[in-house]
Every structure is written in C-alpha cells, then in structure tokens.
Amino acid sequence: MGDELALAVGRIAARFWRVGDRWRHEFRVRPTAADGDERAVAASVEGTPDEPWPASPPLTQVEPVQLADGRRGLLAIGVAGRSHWSASVTADFDSCAIAFDVACRLSEATERLGSTYRLLVPGGGLVIEPLPIDGEPACRILSDDGLCRIDVPMQAIRLPVTVRWRYLVRLA
C-alpha cells in the first residue's frame, strides 16, 4: 500500500495520506468546465500521539477494500490512550456523497468525542450531515471559527461502551 489513498464520487473526493503516526484526510472538489483547478475545501484536524482524546479519530492504519456490491471503500483503525477507533469510508452514489461510519471503544470517560474538520474555503459548498443510527440522531454538527465539529452526545453512558457516529460529506 502507498502513502496516499483516495475515494471519489461525483465531483467530491476524500484524499487520505500519512503524516507521522496518523492518516489525515481532506475533501477536494473536482473542477467543472467553469471552475478551473481541483481544490481542497476541508481537512481533518488531528491530535498528537500523547493526546488520549484527539479532535478526530487517530487513524493509524487505512486499507482499501472491495465491497460486496463492487464499490471501493476504505477501512481504518487506530488507538489513543486506552480507547480504540475504527472507521469505514464509502462512496454513497445515491446521495453523491462520501459516507463515514466511525466507532470508538471507550474504557474511560471523556467530555468530547467526534470528528473535526478545518474549513479551508469559506462558503466552499461543502455540506456535512449526520446520519441516524437505529432511527435516532447519533451526532450533531457544530460550525464555528472555521471549524466543523461532529460531536457525539456523551451524557449517561456506562463504561465500557462502544460509541458510534455516522455522517455524509457532499457538495451543496
């Protein structure tokens, strides 16, 4: 496997690359005849190896997979502190979006869990929307100061527990 992986649907692509012990990712918008060059519109905000609760899942291994229906996807895992993360990333052709399904196995309490993106282009036309799990909202989207945070409610959980959140990233 190389040091860069990408997954695209329509005009949006998620590009993953290794930096130190982590895989970062960004969302890129492909040009139309009028747009010109491909451009990055948002990038994951990563933590450091000594942070038990980084701003985004600490993905240390990312592997391409072939799904049963023929689509390509990415599977990822990682560890920080005493917690373990996993993620699947797929192209959702029905909504022309990149779909994320993330989980974290917690053995100790935290006040915040989720994913964070730095918005690189104000009004870049990117939409991040939560997806329900078992018919219930599993996360909420908060935007402020050029950041978009996907936060998972952490009240009333009993440890140990696996917490899961899902979201789509698409063009407006």
* pLDDT at 81 > cutoff 90: no
Report which residue type is found at 40: A
Q: Per-residue pLDDT averaged across 55-80, rounded? A: 94
pTM: 0.93
What is the model's pLDDT at position 2? 59
What is the model's pLDDT at position 47? 87
pLDDT tens digits, residue range 91-148?
999 999 999 999 999 989 888 999 999 999 877 789 999 999 999 989 999 998 899 9
Q: Per-residue pLDDT averaged across 135-164, rounded? A: 91
Q: Per-residue pLDDT averaged across 10-15, rounded? A: 95
Number of domains in the chain: 1
What is the model's pLDDT at position 1? 46
Domain around 127: 4-171
* pLDDT at 88 > cutoff 70: yes
Query: Within 13 Å, how many C-alpha atoms sit on residue 5's CB side?
Result: 21
Phi (first) and psi of residue 70, to 5 degrees: 95, -15
What is the model's pLDDT at position 155? 76
Q: Per-residue pLDDT averaged across 72-95, rounded? A: 94
